[in-house]
Every structure is written in C-alpha cells, then in structure tokens.
Structure 1
Amino acid sequence: MPRILTSQISDTALNEHNARMFGSPKERLDFYRREIQYETSILANRTDAFLASQSFLVIAFASSMGNLNPEWGKLFTLVVPPFLTLLGVLSSLNAWPGIRAAYDIIGHWHFKQSELLHSEPVMGLAYDESPLFCERESTQKGYRKALLFSVRTPWIFATFWILLGIWSVCIQITNPGA
C-alpha cells in the first residue's frame, strides 16, 4: 500500500489494515489458487473456441478445393480458398491477444503465489509437505510448459493458413488446363 509522506500511519496500523484486507496467508493462497483456476478455465475456453472455429474453416477450405463443377469450379477454387485462408489468418491473429492476456494473468497469479510461499516460512513448509502441492507448481517453468499449447496454437494455425493459401493459389495457377 503506498504511503503518503504527510500521513502518520504507524507500522502496526498498516499491518492491521493488511490483515483485515488480505486475511491469513492460507486465505491468500486459496484466493490465488482460485484466480489461477479461473484464468486457466478462461484460457481453456478460448483455446477450445479457437480450435473449433479453425476446424470448421479447414473443412470449408477442403470442401471448396474439391469443387469439380465444370462451369465455375475453377474460378471458385481460385477465389474462395484464398478468402478462407485470409479468414483463418485473421482469426488466428485475433485470438492471440485474448490467449496471451489470459496467459499473462495466470503468470501474475503464479508469481503472487510463489512470493507468498517464499515470504511466509510457515506457509511454505506446510505447502511443501502436502502431497497436493509441490515447488514445481509454483515455479514459472512448471506452469509455462503446461500452457504452451494454448499460447502456440494461434501462431501454428496462422503459419498453417499462410502455407495452405500459397499452396492453393499455386496449384490453380500452375495447372491452368485442368
């Protein structure tokens, strides 16, 4: 809590205020873990929605490439797949900020949890003795590895769509007689 230089708040009053505001270390740990769980579920929901939208786009892309109509099929397969590719790239780029924001918020709460466990020796000992908790959970390396799939997915799909779009145009241009 920032202090104003002119105020005369004693350390005792400040500690009492913090105790009322934050509660016990156990309550803070529970709060941090609930926030981590909440943000992780948000990240999972965003990743699920993104993957579902990408799967529908892939199906639409494959269907449009398979158009065999003799009158307008060639023009259709030259125009529609690149538009679907553009939509796939844009949706990937649009999904990235939300996924990254959830990842950063999870990182914040993991940091707060780690700092709490390191600043409260008694809490840290109880934490380390419990089989449900371990030091690996509260390190940055542990949770970051768990979230890599969600963080990388938009970039993997953006790359996939760019390559697929280039391939779909090249196939139509290099084989004009088909």
Structure 2
Amino acid sequence: MDKSSKKKQENRWKWWDDFKKRNDSKKKQENWWKWWNDEENLKSIEYYGLIDQEIHREHNLIANRMNWYVTSQSFLMAAFAVSGNNNYRLGFLSIFLPILGILTSFIIGASLYAAIKAMDQLKTEKKRILKQDKYLGNISTFKARFVDNKHPWIHWVGIFPARSIPVLFFIFWFIFLYLATQTKIC
C-alpha cells in the first residue's frame, strides 16, 4: 500500500474514534441517565406534569384492574350458581370455583394495593414539588388540596372501592369454600 491509501484508511475510522470519545465523556458525567430528576433539564412545572401523568396512569391501571376483577368475579359467580343447581351438580366445581375466586381476589387485590402504593409515592413527590416551587405552590387549587392537605378524605374515598372490593370477594369466596367442604349445601 502506498502512503496515500494508508492515510485514507486511517481517516476512514477517525469519525468512529471521535464518536467514542464524545460518548465516553457523556457516560462519565454523574447521573447522566437521570434526566427526569435533573433540575437543569426539567423545570418544576414540567416535572410536576410528568408526575401528574404517572398518577393518571396509575389511576387508569387501577380502573382496568377493577374492571378485569369484577368481570372475572361475575363469571365465577355465575358458574358457581349453575354448579349448585339440584339437577346439575358437579362436586369438584363447588370447591374449585371458590379456590379460583380466592386466588383471583388475592392476585388482583395485591396488584391494586401496589398501584395505590405507587400512586401515594407519586403524590408525596407531587407535594414536595408544590412546597418547593413558589409559583405552583401558590395556585389555590393546588395549595388547598396538596400543600395544606385540606381534603385528604377525597382521595381515600375515591380509592376505597379498589381497597375494599377484593377483600369482600375474598371473604365471600372463603365462606363458600368453607361451606362446600363442611356441608353439602353447595
């Protein structure tokens, strides 16, 4: 190879070396991946908006899980009612359906409680932002509801069905499982 072709070949990969140097220096910066909590990149109002979107997403997850849960429970109850008919009695269904109801109550109830816990953590962060930012903290709607915490019962009552319905169905299915194993009512 002559000198000019060697030089061309060396220059061909120079851009790659430059790219690697730039990329490596970015990685060395402290917390370069935490863009969502970087005060230089996000203003508090934008950060507040992101947290509000996440809270909205958690509400949607809770609503979807409740919908799945109530739908599954209605099918289980219908099957349980049909299996208890005098003309059409299947003994294993009187035990299997309550066990399935207990399992779905436990699984979906745990996922609902996890979503509620995640939402509470997001609301705590939302309150922190409102206390730190003078502009957002002085908006009367935000101030009364989140900073001063004047209406905590609104959130509690709004989440109450997601907290209570799985427990009620769990108790219901446990009672029917007990009755199915102790007596031949079911």
Answer yes or no: same fold by TM over 0.5.
yes
The change in CA–CA distance for 1:134 and 1:56 in structure 2 (over 3 A counts) is farther
- Aligned match of 2:177 in 150, 165, 168? 165
**Alignment pair present for 1:104 and 2:109:** no
Q: State how 1:27-66 maps to structure 2 within 5 Å.
A: 27-66=46-85
Confirm or deny: 8 A CA contact 2:127 2:146 kept in the other structure: no
**Alignment pair present for 1:135 and 2:144:** yes
Once superposed, what is the RMSD of the aligned Cα atoms?
2.5
Normalized against structure 2, the TM-score is what?
Answer: 0.70
Distance (whole Å) between structure 1 residues aligned to residue 73 and residue 45 of structure 2: 42
Larger Rg: 2
- Aligned match of 2:92 in 57, 75, 79? 79
Q: Note the alpha carbon deviations across 1:25-48, whole angstroms, 9 max, x for none.
A: 211111111110011101110111
- CA drift at 1:81: 1.3
Greater relative CO, 1 or 2 (CA 8 Å, sep 6+) = 1
Secondary structure of the equivalent of 1:20? coil
Secondary structure of the equivalent of 2:38? helix
Confirm or deny: 8 A CA contact 2:98 2:177 kept in the other structure: yes
Secondary structure of the equivalent of 1:19? coil
The change in CA–CA distance for 1:59 and 1:137 in structure 2 (over 3 A counts) is farther
Q: Note the alpha carbon deviations across 1:112-142, whole angstroms, 9 max, x for none.
A: 111111122221112x1x5xx5633574554
Distance (whole Å) between structure 2 residues aligned to residue 169 and residue 80 of structure 1: 12
| Long gaps (5+) in structure 2 | 1-29, 31-36
Paired-residue identity, %: 23
Which residue is equivalent to 1:20?
Answer: 40
The change in CA–CA distance for 1:125 and 1:134 in structure 2 (over 3 A counts) is closer
Instruction: Count residues with an aligned counterpart.
Output: 148
Which residue is equivalent to 1:116?
Answer: 129
Which residue is equivalent to 1:3?
Answer: none
- Aligned match of 2:162 in 130, 134, 150? 150
Distance (whole Å) between structure 1 residues aligned to residue 100 and residue 143 of structure 2: 43
Please, which moves more after superposition, 159-168 or 101-110? 159-168
